Amino acid sequence: MSIMSDEQNTAPAELLALRASIDNIDAALIHMLAERFRCTKAVGVLKAERGLAPADPAREKRQVERLRALAVDAHLDPDFAEKFLNFIVKEVIRHHEHAAANHGGKQ
Protein backbone atom coordinates (compact mmCIF):
# COMPACT_ATOMS: atom_id res chain seq x y z
CA MET A 1 0.00 0.00 0.00
CA SER A 2 2.90 2.29 0.70
CA ILE A 3 4.18 1.76 -2.86
CA MET A 4 0.83 2.78 -4.33
CA SER A 5 0.80 5.86 -2.13
CA ASP A 6 4.33 6.80 -3.27
CA GLU A 7 3.31 6.43 -6.93
CA GLN A 8 0.25 8.58 -6.42
CA ASN A 9 2.34 11.25 -4.71
CA THR A 10 4.94 11.38 -7.49
CA ALA A 11 2.60 11.04 -10.47
CA PRO A 12 1.14 14.55 -10.28
CA ALA A 13 4.61 16.16 -10.12
CA GLU A 14 5.79 14.05 -13.05
CA LEU A 15 2.61 14.87 -14.94
CA LEU A 16 3.09 18.58 -14.31
CA ALA A 17 6.72 18.36 -15.45
CA LEU A 18 5.75 16.54 -18.63
CA ARG A 19 2.99 19.04 -19.36
CA ALA A 20 5.42 21.91 -18.79
CA SER A 21 7.79 20.31 -21.31
CA ILE A 22 4.94 19.92 -23.79
CA ASP A 23 3.98 23.58 -23.31
CA ASN A 24 7.59 24.65 -23.95
CA ILE A 25 7.80 22.50 -27.07
CA ASP A 26 4.49 23.90 -28.34
CA ALA A 27 5.80 27.44 -27.84
CA ALA A 28 9.00 26.57 -29.70
CA LEU A 29 6.99 25.03 -32.56
CA ILE A 30 4.91 28.19 -32.91
CA HIS A 31 8.00 30.40 -32.99
CA MET A 32 9.69 28.10 -35.49
CA LEU A 33 6.61 28.08 -37.72
CA ALA A 34 6.46 31.88 -37.55
CA GLU A 35 10.11 32.08 -38.64
CA ARG A 36 9.48 29.55 -41.41
CA PHE A 37 6.55 31.61 -42.69
CA ARG A 38 8.66 34.80 -42.61
CA CYS A 39 11.12 33.03 -44.91
CA THR A 40 8.46 31.57 -47.19
CA LYS A 41 6.70 34.93 -47.48
CA ALA A 42 10.00 36.44 -48.64
CA VAL A 43 10.27 33.60 -51.17
CA GLY A 44 6.74 34.43 -52.35
CA VAL A 45 7.67 38.06 -52.92
CA LEU A 46 10.81 37.07 -54.85
CA LYS A 47 8.80 34.64 -56.98
CA ALA A 48 6.19 37.31 -57.69
CA GLU A 49 8.87 39.85 -58.66
CA ARG A 50 10.42 37.37 -61.07
CA GLY A 51 7.16 36.02 -62.46
CA LEU A 52 7.70 32.53 -61.06
CA ALA A 53 4.81 30.21 -60.23
CA PRO A 54 3.60 30.24 -56.61
CA ALA A 55 3.91 26.43 -56.40
CA ASP A 56 6.99 24.34 -57.22
CA PRO A 57 5.85 20.70 -57.36
CA ALA A 58 9.39 19.36 -57.88
CA ARG A 59 10.65 21.15 -54.76
CA GLU A 60 7.58 20.07 -52.81
CA LYS A 61 8.24 16.44 -53.80
CA ARG A 62 11.87 16.71 -52.63
CA GLN A 63 10.73 18.30 -49.37
CA VAL A 64 8.26 15.47 -48.72
CA GLU A 65 10.95 12.86 -49.38
CA ARG A 66 13.42 14.68 -47.13
CA LEU A 67 10.89 15.14 -44.33
CA ARG A 68 9.79 11.51 -44.48
CA ALA A 69 13.42 10.41 -44.11
CA LEU A 70 13.90 12.79 -41.17
CA ALA A 71 10.74 11.40 -39.58
CA VAL A 72 11.99 7.83 -39.89
CA ASP A 73 15.31 8.84 -38.29
CA ALA A 74 13.41 10.57 -35.47
CA HIS A 75 11.08 7.58 -34.93
CA LEU A 76 8.08 9.65 -36.02
CA ASP A 77 5.39 8.29 -38.32
CA PRO A 78 6.45 9.45 -41.83
CA ASP A 79 2.80 9.57 -42.97
CA PHE A 80 2.05 12.02 -40.18
CA ALA A 81 5.13 14.08 -41.08
CA GLU A 82 3.99 14.21 -44.72
CA LYS A 83 0.49 15.31 -43.73
CA PHE A 84 2.00 18.00 -41.51
CA LEU A 85 4.24 19.27 -44.33
CA ASN A 86 1.36 19.21 -46.83
CA PHE A 87 -0.71 21.32 -44.45
CA ILE A 88 2.11 23.87 -44.18
CA VAL A 89 2.84 23.87 -47.92
CA LYS A 90 -0.81 24.61 -48.74
CA GLU A 91 -0.63 27.69 -46.54
CA VAL A 92 2.71 28.71 -48.10
CA ILE A 93 1.24 28.42 -51.60
CA ARG A 94 -1.74 30.52 -50.51
CA HIS A 95 0.70 33.21 -49.32
CA HIS A 96 2.63 32.99 -52.60
CA GLU A 97 -0.56 33.31 -54.64
CA HIS A 98 -1.49 36.36 -52.58
CA ALA A 99 1.97 37.87 -53.19
CA ALA A 100 1.65 37.18 -56.93
CA ALA A 101 -1.81 38.78 -57.06
CA ASN A 102 -0.60 41.84 -55.17
CA HIS A 103 2.48 42.16 -57.34
CA GLY A 104 0.53 41.80 -60.60
CA GLY A 105 -0.51 45.45 -60.73
CA LYS A 106 2.91 46.83 -59.75
CA GLN A 107 4.93 46.04 -62.87
- Helix 57-73 and helix 78-104, axial crossing angle in degrees, nearest 10: 150
Please give the biggest Cα pair distance in the chain. Answer: 78
Q: What is the pTM of this model?
A: 0.76
Q: What is the pLDDT of residues 11-37, one digit of tens each?
A: 789 999 999 999 999 999 999 999 999
Q: How far apart are CA 10 and CA 103, in angstroms?
A: 59
Domains of the chain, with CATH numbers? 2-104 (1.20.59.10)
Q: What is the pLDDT of residues 52-80, one digit of tens each?
A: 998 999 999 999 999 999 999 999 999 99
